[in-house]
Structure 1
């Protein structure tokens, strides 16, 4: 009997007289005995079976209880499938509709493999069907060579690798082969990375050359000739004596020729103006 000061929440949900010992997997009702548990099932029409579709928080899934929940669920599925296969075989019912029972093929249910394991005294601990480790396990019996090819999971420097190892080989030989394969993969990966880096460097150099060519002046010779032309014209203008003036006849002749000739174009006018400036 519980103390009178004990709160009801700490007592059995049915009799309220003793601390609870059991928890219903379906609706989490806490009971103290088998009688109280059965009374709870009658009152609430509860099956006492865990509901696999019930919501479970991420925090609860990350606990040991959450892992056990998933494991028990998968194990229950496997048991139900095996039970259904046995009942189908005993009754001679065909699942395919062709008069022959259908068996689900699994590596650990293979007749030759199971016989070989029993004859050689090899014990196998099987993971439930549907789990990642069960899917990754490709262990099989080779009928031609009468040998087993094991799926071995190696953990090297924190990296997991699954390799197939023939039973005729020792673990040391298999490990050396794994290390050689890993070294070849590392060399290949480094070679690919080096090729990619070299291509990127060449592309960078080409882009830099293209940018440098765009920033350079288009014609350095034209600018030099233009700078050279101005001093030459200035030299011609300064070498002529400014005291010498044209005569009246020259001026008259020049005026009459200008009146008779058609008006010059824009380029000719600019050239004439430069010439007059230099002579006068």
Structure 2
């Protein structure tokens, strides 16, 4: 009986060890299943982001060949998924794209902004694109991703803004009145007519404290009205006073002023007409 008990004791120990090993395997299997589920969930999130992003997305492998793209990219290029998958980016005629892909596969992020002319469709689109590498631990760069934005509307808005600015510049430069923008008691802008009327260059105007151009007898009144205007008097005002042009003769002017914002801060926009001859006639 004693021998039987001795034989049975190791078997019980082995059985307990086996049970513990089985439990460890079960725990490991559950952990592996949990990790796999998290990976699948994460992959699904990235897939949804990739497919339904408002930007054009595509992946390319280490040879610069497109291996996947979303529908927005297909629409942006004006082609088909079939034509784009397998496209060799290093063979594109647009060398800016080629260089961006080369930088991405070299481990750097590259930017592209230009009018891209598709080789798989008859379409040219202003785009801004980011090319970035895909790293895999132990293998380095295994490919890259391109994120493409259609900037057609932005380009149109910029062109419209430039056109609008040019129209206003033309109006200001060809106005019959001298035009000055005054901020913090200094001249920030003058038009061509002001230069001709006062005889000072643009640089001289900018360097002269504006109230030094006013006749000493009128200066206190002009400063007071300027401070009232700059303190919030938004109503247009019209006044007459004497100024000192560069040629030295006292001139009479009529000035219309309005409160504006210049580069984010209060300033006055001033339209000036020389009324010296009218004053002499009076």
The question of a shared fold, defined as TM-score above 0.5 by the shorter chain, is answered with no
Larger RCO: 1 or 2 (CA < 8 Å, sep 6+): 2
Higher strand share: 2
TM-score (norm 1): 0.21
- Whose radius of gyration is greater, 1 or 2? 1
